[in-house]
Amino acid sequence: MASSTTVRKEVEIVKGHRLDYQLYKYLLQYFSEGELERFFESIRKPPSRYYVRVNTLRVSPEELMRSLRERSIDVYPDEYLPEALWFPVKGPNRVPSARKYVLADKRAAESVYVGANLYIPGVVRMDEEVRKGDEVNVIAPNGEVMAFGISEVDSDEIRSTRRGIAVKTLVSVYEMPKVREMREYEQGLFYDQSLPAQWVGRVIDPRPNEVIVDMNAAPGGKTSHIIQLSEGKAVVHAFDRSEGKVRELIEVLSRLGMDGLYRVEVRDTRYLDVDRPDLVNSVDKVLIDPPCTDMGVRPRLFDVKTMDLVISMSNYQRQFIKVAWKLLKPGGVLVYSTCTIPPLENEDNIAYAESLGFEVVNISVPNASGGLISKYRDSVVRFYPHIHDTPGFFIAKLRKPDQRRQ
Ligand code: SAH
C-alpha cells in the first residue's frame, strides 16, 4: 500500500535554522557548507549597529546627533550615507535565571531577545505560580531563554487582559536602543531602517517632478525616503495590497510630516496596468520591494524554509516586474530589492527583467558585494550578514530602453 504521507527531509544548518533538502542542495550551488553555517549563525544575532534614517526634511543629521548626545545617548554617523546614524547594539549578555517562566510567541520572543518588554498579546503561556512583581525568564517557543525580567501581571489575569506589558525586561541577550521611546522618534525626526534598505533610496535617486511608483510600499520606509530625497517635490504614488499595512504607512508618513506629499491606494499591484491605465507608459521610476522568503532578516532565532516557497515567491515577484515594464516611460528606471538570499528571487529575476527588454544599470555601494552570479558580479549589490554585519539584502537597477535607441 502506498503511503500518502510524504517525508519531508530537512537539514538543520545551525541551531534552529532548517532548510528542506532541495533548498539546501540548491544553495550549495552558490555557497560552501561553511559559508551557509556562518550565514545562519549570524542571522541568529542582531547586527552590531542599529541604524536609523534622519528625516532631513525636518532636521540635519548633525543637529539630531547633537541633541541625542546631549542626553548621553551613544550615536554615530555612518561612514558613507549622510542621512544614516547608528546606535551600538550591546551583548550577548549573561541572562540570570529565574524560578518561573513566561513563554512568548516567536515574534514577541525575538523582540524581547533584543531588549523589548513582553506585551500581553505575545504571551503563549505563563507559569501558574507567577504573581505580579515576580522575577521571571522569558522563553522562546524553541525553549531558549530570551531575557530576565519582572512580571507586571498575575498569571490568572493574563486570559482576561488584552493589552499592556506582561513582563518588564531587565536583562536580555542583546540590547538595542529603544528608539521608539525617544522623543525625536515621536517628533518624526528619524525612521528606523536598516543600512541596506537606506541604500535603496539612494539607488532610486529621486528627483523633483519625477513620477515615482512604489509597488510594495507599506509600512513606508522606502516611500518616505523617496519623498525626503526629492524634497517632497516628486509625484509619489504608494501602493500596497494590505489595508492594515497601508494604515500603518499613513501613520508613519504623517509622523514624519509628509501628509500631502504623496498619494496612497490599497491595490494588488500585479494588476496596476489594468486598474490604473493612467499610469501606463507615464512613470519615471518604479520601486519593487516585494514579499520574499526573508532569509536575510535579523535577528531570527529559528526558521524553516523550503524550495517550494522560494520558487513560488520568485514567480510572484516576476508579476510585479512585468507590470513595471508597462508603467515605465521609455528611459524609465526600475529598482528591485529584497531581503533574501536565493538567486531565484534576486539575480534570476533580473535576468527575467532583461528578457522583457530591461537593461541593467550598473550600481555599487560602499562596503557591499556584487552579484552572486558571474554575469552580475559588477552590476548589482548584495549585503551578507556574516560579511557586512547587516541584514541580508539585494539591490538592482534597470532601465527600460529609450525608444530612440531601440
Ligand atoms: N517597501 C516597504 C516594505 C515592503 S514589504 C518599506 O520599505 O517599508 C512587502 C510589501 O508587499 C508588504 O507590505 C505586502 O503587503 C506587499 N504586497 C504583497 N503582495 C502585494 C501585491 N500583490 N500588491 C501590492 N503589495 C503587495
pLDDT single digits (tens) 99-111: 999 999 999 999 9
Average pLDDT, the chain: 96
Instruction: Give distance in angstroms: CA of 215 to centre of ligand 1.
Output: 7
Ligand 1 neighbour 216 (Cβ under 6 A): yes
Q: With cut-offs at 50, 70 and 90, classify the pLDDT of residue 160.
A: confident
What pLDDT, in 10s, does the model give residues 110-144? 999 999 999 999 999 999 899 999 999 999 999 99
Q: Is 91 helix (H, G, I), strand (E, B) or coil?
A: coil
Q: Which three cell numbers, joined as nine digits, stand for 321? A: 516586474
Q: With cut-offs at 50, 70 and 90, classify the pLDDT of residue 6.
A: low
Instruction: Give distance in angstroms: CA of 46 to centre of ligand 1.
Output: 23
Which pLDDT score is estimated for 93? 97
Same domain, 152 and 271: no
Which range is least confidently modeled, 9-23, 376-390, 392-406?
392-406
| Alpha carbon distance 189, 52 (integer Å) | 10
What pLDDT, in 10s, does the model give residues 200-213? 999 999 999 999 99
Instruction: Give distance in angstroms: CA of 232 to centre of ligand 1.
Output: 22
What pLDDT, in 10s, does the model give residues 263-278? 999 999 999 999 999 9
The one catalytic residue in 301, 339, 350, 360 is 339
Beta carbons within 8 Å of 220's beta carbon, 6+ residues apart: 238, 248, 249, 250, 252, 253
Angle between helices 33-43 and 21-28 (to 10 degrees): 110
Report percent pLDDT > 70 for the chain: 97
Which pLDDT score is estimated for 297? 97
Same domain, 39 and 53: no
**Residue 405, pLDDT above cutoff 90:** no
Ligand 1 neighbour 343 (Cβ under 6 A): no
Same domain, 252 and 356: yes
Nearest CA to ligand 1 atom 10: 216
Alpha-carbon distance values, 389 to 38, 73, 143, 169 (Å): 12, 22, 26, 26
Which pLDDT score is estimated for 158? 83
Which of 224, 240, 247, 340 maximizes ligand 1 atoms within 8 Å of its Cβ, making it the mutation to test the pocket? Answer: 240
Q: With cut-offs at 50, 70 and 90, classify the pLDDT of residue 2.
A: very low
Assigned domain for 384 exists = yes
**Residue 1, pLDDT above cutoff 70:** no
Same domain, 204 and 148: no
What pLDDT, in 10s, does the model give residues 78-97? 999 999 999 999 999 999 99
Domain count along the chain: 4
Assigned domain for 393 exists = yes
Judge whether 396 and 363 are in contact, CB under 8 Å. Answer: yes
Assigned domain for 215 exists = yes
**Residue 59, pLDDT above cutoff 80:** yes
Is 366 buried (19+), middle (13-18) or exposed (0-12) by CB count in 10 A? exposed
Same domain, 150 and 224: no
Assigned domain for 55 exists = yes
Q: Which three cell numbers, joined as nine digits, stand for 302? A: 529559528
* CATH number of the domain encompassing residue 360: 3.40.50.150
**Structural domain span for residue 152:** 100-172
DSSP string of 261-323, one letter each residue: SSEEEE--GGGHHHH-GGGTT-EEEEEE------TT-SS-S-EEE-HHHHHHHHHHHHHHHHH
| Alpha carbon distance 396, 346 (integer Å) | 8
Instruction: Give distance in angstroms: CA of 329 to centre of ligand 1.
Output: 23
Same domain, 393 and 361: yes
Which of 191, 200, 225, 241 maximizes ligand 1 atoms within 8 Å of its Cβ, making it the mutation to test the pocket? Answer: 241
339 classed as catalytic: yes
Which pLDDT score is estimated for 180? 87
Judge whether 256 and 283 are in contact, CB under 8 Å. Answer: no
Q: What pTM does this model have?
A: 0.95
Ligand 1 neighbour 247 (Cβ under 6 A): no
Nearest CA to ligand 1 atom 26: 241
**Residue 36, pLDDT above cutoff 90:** yes
Q: Which three cell numbers, joined as nine digits, stand for 14? A: 545551525
Which pLDDT score is estimated for 7? 66
Q: Which helix (H) or strand (E) holds 252?
A: helix 243-255
Assigned domain for 125 exists = yes
* CATH number of the domain encompassing residue 162: 2.30.130.10
**Residue 389, pLDDT above cutoff 50:** yes
> Quick one: average pLDDT of 306-322?
98
Which pLDDT score is estimated for 21? 96
Instruction: Give distance in angstroms: CA of 258 to centre of ligand 1.
Output: 20
Assigned domain for 296 exists = yes
Q: Is 394 helix (H, G, I), strand (E, B) or coil?
A: strand
376-402 burial string, b = 16+ CB within 10 Å, else e? beebbbbbbbebbbbbbbbbbbbbbee
Same domain, 75 and 107: no
Q: Which three cell numbers, joined as nine digits, stand for 19? A: 532548510
Judge whether 392 and 305 are in contact, CB under 8 Å. Answer: no
